[in-house]
Amino acid sequence: MVPVALMPLAIGRAIDAAIQSGLGPQLWTWIAAILTLGLLQALGVGFLEFWSTQLWIQAGVRVQRAVLEHAARLGSVLPRQIRAGDVVAVGSTDVYSIGNLLGCIGRTAGSLVAFIVVATVLVTQSPLLGAVVLVGVPLATLGMAPLFGPLRRRAEAHRDEVGAATSLAADIVSGLRVLRGIGGERRFGDRYAETSQRVRMAGVAAGRTESWLSALELLLPGLVTVGVTWLGARLASSGDITVGELVGFYGASAFLVIPVSIASDTVTTTTEALVSAGRVTTILNLRPALDSPPNPTPLSAGPLGLDDPDTGLHCPPGRLTVITPSGPGDELADRLGRFVETPVLAGGVPLAEADLGEVRRRILVAHNQDVLFSGRLAAEIGLGGSRVDLEEALWATDAKDIVDGLPDGIDERLAERGRQLSGGQRQRLMLARALTMDPDVLLLDDPTSAVDAHTESRIVRRVAALRKGRTTVVISHSPLWAAVADHRTSDQQAKEPTS
């Protein structure tokens, strides 16, 4: 920014040198100075763009990573405390706003330094003109201040509407098949159109304020430039300054439009970034329903048994236990895996007293309503257990025929939620994914409800063989699982009053 600011002053000096001595050494000296300033300007702009982009990317990536990691820690608590659209909007909108703020730091700092340099030079050459610049430019910047408050409020309103629209879109996409089944597509389409119009109107309101701000960015500094030019012309005609100094003063005052414009852009960017940062910190301030105790007790090494004092459930270590549930199986699985507050013990240690990270690593809960993520099949299913590889898991879940039937086999790219697969195929692949994790305790919630009896028979025998010596708990009414169980029990005792 400084070479840009000094360029008109150097040109003014070159004009004076040409008037005074023609094509003499003094003129060539100033020509060399102008060329040097041009080279420095080119290098400065290159470095500015490079580091501004680096800051922009780093800010966006770090914010997005922080939100995703925290969302993963929150788990099922997240959708109960905040709209899905607000989380999605962080990655689609907010990271860009925050990145833009980091990216404009260099320009803002450069503008401030350049303004100080130019003002100092102008005061040295003409105290009157320098004073006009020193007073006029800050006043021009302050003249835009009344618009900053309305701009922030309208930006917040627009961001709220974007979050609402994104949430609605996510709901429509996830429930599209159901909507088609009940003929609700048109109704939801109309509702989304209405929400989109609110987003548009909020955006127009924010844009209207930004347009006034853009107009003032040119008008107010332009008035300062007009004043400096008029006053400079008067001083030049009276002989107080030279023609070259007049040209330099004009160029310098015209340059000052740039710092004012950058200052205005910075305020606008800061306003948008503060709104986005508020949304991000709202998510980061959410606390998980469960957390590790201050001084966790480590779980014992080797196979873990599970015991529930309230229900009397006992799952021996290293054995396959089948539980016939009296209620929803997913609630029982969450209880045994400590996804809710529970008195369950693992190896004699209350899960509530253990480190939650260790519990998640060693006790895996696999629900039959879990989902497959989009991506390469091998990467989404083979999660890298220490003992069970992908081939073994696919064999145990009788899923090799699924892989063989895909055009690219194990390298096939799964669509979102594995939509190109049937319900039974997805269930077998999700079971294979759980097996590759090879946890110390594997809790399976009705893992074969969507497959036929012949396939289920092969699966239960193979899983029992694969998990031999590891603690496996299957919550199911299936007699086929009961037939291969080392231990069978029921949670009926949970309904009985306890003293």
Residue 111's closest CA among 221, 8, 261?
261
Cα–Cα dist 361/373, whole Å = 20
DSSP for 346-387, written as a single string: ETTEEGGGS-HHHHHHHEEEEETT--PPSEEHHHHH----SS
Q: Which pLDDT does position 497 carry in this prediction? A: 45
144-160: pLDDT as tens digits: 667 666 766 776 676 66
Q: Which pLDDT does position 498 carry in this prediction? A: 42
Residue 243's closest CA among 423, 13, 69, 448?
13
The radius of gyration of the chain's CA atoms, rounded to the nearest angstrom, is: 34
User: Residues near 275 by Cβ (< 8 Å), separated by ≥ 6?
Assistant: 97, 152, 155, 156, 159
Q: Which residues of the chain have pLDDT under 70?
A: 85, 141, 143-145, 147-149, 151-152, 155-156, 158-160, 163-185, 384-387, 492-499
Q: Which pLDDT does position 454 carry in this prediction? A: 93
Distances (CA, A) of 241 to 238, 245, 255: 8, 6, 20
Cα–Cα dist 276/99, whole Å = 10
Helices (H) and strands (E) in the chain, counts: 20, 11
| pTM for the structure as a whole | 0.58
Q: Which pLDDT does position 86 carry in this prediction? A: 75
252, 122 contact by CB (below 8 A): yes
473, 441 contact by CB (below 8 A): yes
User: Residues near 412 by Cβ (< 8 Å), separated by ≥ 6?
Assistant: 376, 377, 403, 406
**Burial letters for 270-279: b for 16+ Cβ neighbours within 10 Å, e otherwise?**
bbbbebbbeb
Domains and CATH numbers, the chain: 2-284 (1.20.1560.10), 306-495 (3.40.50.300)
